[in-house]
Amino acid sequence: MDACDHSRPYTLLIFLIGRLRSPPCPASDGWSFLRDYSDRATNVFLWISLIAVTALLLKRIAELLLLWARSARIPGPPSPSFFGHTSLVSCSGDLTGLLGRVHEKYGPVVKLWLGPQPLISLKDPTLIREVLKDAKDKLPSTGWAFGLGRCGLFSPSFKKVQKMRESLAMQLNDKLLDRAHAVPLKVIDCVMERIRSTMDKGYLDCSSFSQHMGFYAIGALIFGEGFLSWPKVAIYEELLMMIANNPRLWASYNIPPVWKRGFWRYWRLRMRLRTLTQDIISHCRTGKKISSQADQRLGVDRKHVNTDVDDVMAGSFLLEEFDGHLSLNEEPCGSIMGVMFHGCLTVSALFNDILIWIALHLDIQEKIYSEILAVCNGSAELDSHNVQRMHILLAVVYESARLLPRRPLLQRCSLGHDLNLKTGVTLPAKALYVIPVQLVHTDNIIWGDDACQFNPYRFLSKDDRHTDISLEDKSDLESVKSFTVPSGRNKDPVNSSFVLNDPNDNAAFLPFGSGSRACIGQRFSILSIATLCASLLQLYEIRIQPGSVDNPKPTTNTWVFQPLPTPKIAFVRRAR
């Protein structure tokens, strides 16, 4: 037996105290103790890690089993393998079509398995409204979609976005739309200038023209009109679109695919975009500071000023809103770039669809033109108030948004608690809920037999009867063409004949989502798109260039409306 064994310290502390009190025992040097000690410490650490990882795994397995047991009651096709329907979903490449077939067989609430994760799809409008109201979270995505970094406004957790959503929505819906012009006149001038310069050469590519309009409208909304005269605006547009056209590739990776060369190219573009965004932000801030200093010097109280200057600066108040909500660990440009991407892509896509629809339906285009003349009553002034009275035009915007929703699937999740629906169905917490918007938007039971056709009249009702008007009832709409004003009662020529139904009253109208996470830009987008359309139609007829697409008529398959072809369009100046 070792002579010093009886006094061998067990912990490092006792060892150090022992060393201080008495000289080291010659038979056991300090090193062997330290070696022994580090072995024991490593063992303890490994054991603790093993127990912690096992506990976490067991907890996760227990949660999955519970989720599995709760979801098992929801109807759906049996899971073919351990991986569930994952391969079916990825092989078909058309989740909406797959959900359509499953809904047809199993009813309005169905379940598929994505590995151990249940995906619950809902197709009934009443249930959809309930779920979109109560399920406030979204499942976290990889966040690599645009490589924006932490982006507060589009964060999955409702708690994190709630405040920012509310105040931005207030700015957009109340303050901004109260202004005379939802889209600054300067944006409209820029667009007209582009048409003038391009039309000398011939035809315009519809999608790139719409992209340009969307970019200017959203840029001016966020940064103010100073955005339009910013010297780097063209490079910014090019970069933004280069990144935006590539998102799906990077969105599919859970970790950044650093081993791919394309990723680094994407990374460099994204860094350049971020630098440019910071540049425009400081450009706007400086402009704003200069203007408010000038106000102070001149003793101007902005609240009581209603001039063009006020309009010029008003747009960039959204920037202050963003500033106020940024937390310390958030990337400063994340939310702004998020809105830039989302706003530009959605607004330009909807605008593109509207141009094509009205170019394909010249009769409707003419009716809108008559409506514009009637509402403006000879004046060229198109303010927001006037545009809100253009019911056919607004109905065309709604119908275009309905037929080709930009988000074919809405997703939600309830992180905290199960959802007990009024019908008695319980949706388990942490499952992924999806709404196949395209299926709902093309459902004949909800929208009638012409669900897949372009019929803006479905959003209009006769003033006295308030019933939906379908294509067959078109004769009823002749009065819209002539805009006869009934004597004495109502001097508003359009409202006297027809009323525009609020599309959001219909739970199946979901191009902007619905409920607690609905799009906060809906009102702004509709009004600004309608204003841009009315400004164009006031001066030009929009025509499709013959032969620019093989088949200009859009098609539908069983479940899904196919994207519209992208034709070349011509702007034919109207005779005055």
Residue 177 interacts with ligand HEM (CB under 6 A): yes or no: no
Least distance (Å) between residue 218 CB and ligand HEM: 6
Contact between 419 and ligand HEM by CB under 6 A: the answer reads no
Task: Report how far apart the first and last C-alpha atoms of the chain are (Å, whole number).
Answer: 114
The site that binds ligand HEM (CB under 6 A) totals a number of residues, namely 28
Nearest to 229 by CA among 210, 211, 239, 216: 216
Of the candidates 405, 379, 404, 384, the one whose C-alpha atom is nearest the C-alpha of residue 394 is: 384
Contact between 274 and ligand HEM (CB under 6 A)?
no
Q: Name the DSSP class of 477.
A: G
Q: Of 501, 525, 531, 535, which one interacts with ligand HEM (CB under 6 A)?
A: 525
Judged by CB under 6 A, the residue of 99, 122, 145, 161 near ligand HEM is: 161
Asked if 521 touches ligand HEM (CB under 6 A), the answer is yes
* Least CB distance to ligand HEM at residue 345 (A): 8
Q: In this chain, which stretch among 233-241, 267-275, 286-294, 344-352 interacts with ligand HEM, using CB under 6 A?
A: 344-352
Under the criterion CB under 6 A, does residue 410 sit at the interface with ligand HEM? yes
Candidates 520, 527, 537, 560: give the one binding ligand HEM (CB under 6 A): 520
DSSP states of 26-44: TTS-HHHHHHHHHHHHHHH
- Contact between 346 and ligand HEM by CB under 6 A: the answer reads yes
Q: Which residue has the tokens 């600066």?
A: 313
Q: Is 561 in the site for ligand HEM (CB under 6 A)?
A: no
Identify which range of 202-210, 262-270, 338-346, 441-449 contacts ligand HEM by CB under 6 A.
338-346
Asked if 512 touches ligand HEM (CB under 6 A), the answer is yes
Residue ranges in 217-236 that form contacts with ligand HEM under rule CB under 6 A? 218
Decide if residue 508 touches ligand HEM (CB under 6 A): no
Q: Which is nearer to ligand HEM, 99 or 480 (CB)?
A: 99
How far CA 360 is from CA of 392, 554, 569, in Å, comes to 16, 10, 11
Pairing state of beta strands 419-420 and 460-462? unpaired
Residue 91 is labelled as binding a ligand? no
* Beta strands 117-122; 432-436: pairing state: parallel
Nearest distance from C-beta of residue 554 to ligand HEM, angstroms: 18
Confirm or reject binding of residue 103 to ligand HEM (CB under 6 A): no
Residue whose Cβ sits closest to ligand HEM: 513
Query: What percent of the residues of the chain are helix, what percent strand, and what percent coil, each to the nearest 5?
Result: 55, 10, 35
Question: Residue type at 338?
Answer: G
Stretch binding ligand HEM (CB under 6 A), from 8-16, 73-81, 376-384, 515-523: 515-523
**Buried/exposed 363-389: b ≥16 CB within 10 Å, e otherwise:** ebbebbbbbbebbbeeeeebebebbbb
Q: Which of 85, 181, 342, 441 binds ligand HEM (CB under 6 A)?
A: 342
* Burial of 262 from C-beta contacts in 10 A (0-12 / 13-18 / 19+): exposed
Measured distance CA(161)–CA(163) in Å, rounded? 6
407 is a contact residue toward ligand HEM (CB under 6 A): yes
Scan residues 134-153 and list those touching ligand HEM (CB under 6 A): 153
Window contacting ligand HEM (CB under 6 A); options: 26-34, 226-234, 406-414, 536-544: 406-414
Please state, in angstroms and rounded to a whole number, the distance separating the CA atoms of residues 475 and 77: 47
3-state SS assignment for residue 413: strand
In order, the DSSP letters of 61-125 are HHHHHHHHHHHTTS--PPP-STTBTHHHHHHH--HHHHHHHHHHHH-SEEEEEETTEEEEEE--H
Decide if residue 513 touches ligand HEM (CB under 6 A). Answer: yes
Piece of 62-70, 264-272, 520-528, 540-548 that binds ligand HEM (CB under 6 A): 520-528
List of residues contacting ligand HEM (CB under 6 A) = 132, 153-154, 161, 165, 172, 218, 339, 342-343, 346-347, 350, 401, 406-407, 410, 511-514, 517-521, 524-525
From the annotation, which residues make up the binding site for heme? 519
